[in-house]
């Protein structure tokens, strides 16, 4: 660190305040050019995006033009590929939303992440997913949804304790669809069974669960310790405390960590009320998104460039490691190539990452 301790403390405080600032907040004054490091990175691949820039991917009324506009704003934040994420809903609504995503014919869309409906119906692990559409896992139901998505579902998040989840996990693995554990209240034993059946990812580890759980064993420790599982984390400063991010990255190692935003339509927008799959959610001035009056978070207003910068600050990893968590790690996980090259500017004093150009 080049700066004096006093200056360091000052900028750390400023960065702490800015880490959770809504996207689109007034930019800070540009630092002197000598403080800026310029570098390139493969484009970001976000495995979990429910919407962005006022557009809800989970709304059947969304148009292809809306979608293209959201993809353009995501690209400006470095996301050149993504898995639009469709959360728990009826098969009919899922099919309607999937068909809009497919009509976009955008290279940026690397497939669909189906998060639910085979998740815990319990308050807490269910999060903001509508209870009435939470359902036991069923190969037949999945096949119907996969047909309606023209075979583009690449990732399924499920709770392994839900009836039918383990046979479905085996079926998905055999058919090249990745399986993630999430929105779960499973015992540690059932987590191990899910890994044996073919689960390979923990979805937003540490979120989508009850507030109070047994200290140990529990499903968080079991997933942290399972080297077969990669883990996705939402590093917005709201979903996980900085010390939890640091401990999780160290337990999983940077190579097994994937950054996701879990962004919803409120991302890139001013504070106010937005929709997530027909549920009203509120973005407050601190950048937190929740159902009004409910304790659960409901997705995020995070952009991936900010997630990378936060990860450097919270976990103390080199910038290159955090960039890999947003680009090559998720690409390798899906078995595809990253797309495009990002030209980046990094200010290590203020933990600010700027996407200068996307080629």
Contacting range for Zn ion; rule: CB under 5 A; set: 3-11, 51-59, 147-155, 201-209: 201-209
- Applying CB under 5 A, what is the total number of residues that bind Zn ion? 1
Using CB atoms within 10 A of its CB, is residue 186 exposed (0-12), middle (13-18) or buried (19+)?
Answer: buried
The CB-of-86 to Zn ion minimum distance in angstroms stands at 11
Using CB atoms within 10 A of its CB, is residue 158 exposed (0-12), middle (13-18) or buried (19+)?
Answer: buried
- β-pairing, 279-283 vs 272-276, is antiparallel
Q: Does 208 bind Zn ion (CB under 5 A)?
A: yes
Contacting range for Zn ion; rule: CB under 5 A; set: 57-65, 133-141, 205-213, 270-278: 205-213
**Distances 180 to 3, 21, 202, 293 between C-alpha atoms, Å:** 42, 30, 5, 29
Angle at 50 between CA 266 and CA 267, to 5 degrees: 20
Q: What is the CA radius of gyration of the chain?
A: 19
* Residue in 56, 66, 236, 262 annotated catalytic: 262
Measure the CA–CA gap between 260 and 279, rounded to whole angstroms. Answer: 21
Give 220 or 355: the residue with its C-beta nearer to Zn ion: 220
Give 86 or 190: the residue with its C-beta nearer to Zn ion: 86
The count of C-alpha atoms lying within 13 angstroms of the C-alpha of 276, restricted to the half-sphere facing its C-beta, is 30
Catalytic annotation present for 305: no
Q: Does 185 bind Zn ion (CB under 5 A)?
A: no
The CB-of-119 to Zn ion minimum distance in angstroms stands at 8
Measure the CA–CA gap between 183 and 100, rounded to whole angstroms. Answer: 26
The CB-of-124 to Zn ion minimum distance in angstroms stands at 12
The CB-of-198 to Zn ion minimum distance in angstroms stands at 20
Q: Does 84 bind Zn ion (CB under 5 A)?
A: no
Residues 16-35, mask of contacts with Zn ion (x by CB under 5 A): --------------------
Give 121 or 208: the residue with its C-beta nearer to Zn ion: 208
Q: Does 160 bind Zn ion (CB under 5 A)?
A: no
Give the pair of three-digit tokens for residue 78. Answer: 């470095």
Catalytic residues: 262
Q: Which residues of this protein are in contact with Zn ion, per CB under 5 A? A: 208
């Amino acid at each position: 660190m080049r700066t004096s301790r006093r200056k360091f403390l000052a900028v750390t405080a400023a960065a702490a305040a800015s880490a959770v600032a809504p996207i689109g907040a007034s930019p800070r004054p540009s630092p002197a050019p000598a403080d800026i490091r310029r570098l390139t990175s493969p484009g970001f691949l976000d495995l979990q995006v429910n919407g962005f820039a006022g557009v809800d991917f989970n709304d059947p009324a969304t148009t292809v033009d809306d979608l293209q506009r959201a993809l353009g704003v995501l690209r400006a934040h470095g996301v050149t590929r993504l898995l639009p994420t469709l959360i728990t809903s009826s098969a009919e609504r899922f099919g309607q939303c999937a068909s809009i995503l497919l009509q976009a014919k955008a290279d940026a869309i690397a497939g669909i992440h189906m998060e639910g409906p085979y998740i815990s119906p319990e308050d807490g692990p269910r999060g903001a997913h509508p209870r009435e559409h939470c359902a036991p896992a069923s190969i037949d139901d999945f096949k119907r949804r996969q047909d309606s998505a023209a075979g583009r579902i690449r990732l399924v998040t499920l709770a392994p304790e839900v009836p039918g989840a383990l046979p479905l996990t085996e079926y998905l693995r055999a058919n090249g669809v990745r399986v993630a554990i999430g929105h779960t209240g499973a015992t540690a034993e059932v987590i191990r069974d899910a890994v044996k059946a073919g689960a390979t990812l923990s979805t937003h580890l540490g979120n989508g669960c009850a507030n109070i759980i047994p200290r140990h064993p529990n499903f968080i420790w079991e997933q942290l310790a399972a080297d077969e599982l990669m883990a996705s984390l939402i590093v917005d400063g709201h979903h996980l405390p900085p010390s939890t991010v640091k401990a999780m990255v160290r337990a999983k190692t940077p190579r097994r960590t994937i950054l996701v935003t879990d962004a919803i339509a409120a991302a890139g927008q001013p504070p106010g009320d937005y929709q997530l799959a027909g549920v009203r959610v509120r973005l407050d001035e601190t950048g937190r998104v929740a159902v009004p009056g409910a304790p659960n978070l409901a997705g995020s207003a995070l952009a991936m460039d900010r997630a990378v910068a936060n990860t450097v600050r919270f976990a103390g990893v080199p910038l290159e490691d955090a960039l890999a968590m947003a680009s090559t790690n998720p690409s390798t996980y899906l078995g595809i190539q990253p797309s495009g090259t990002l030209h980046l500017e990094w200010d290590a004093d203020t933990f600010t990452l700027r996407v200068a150009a996307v080629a």
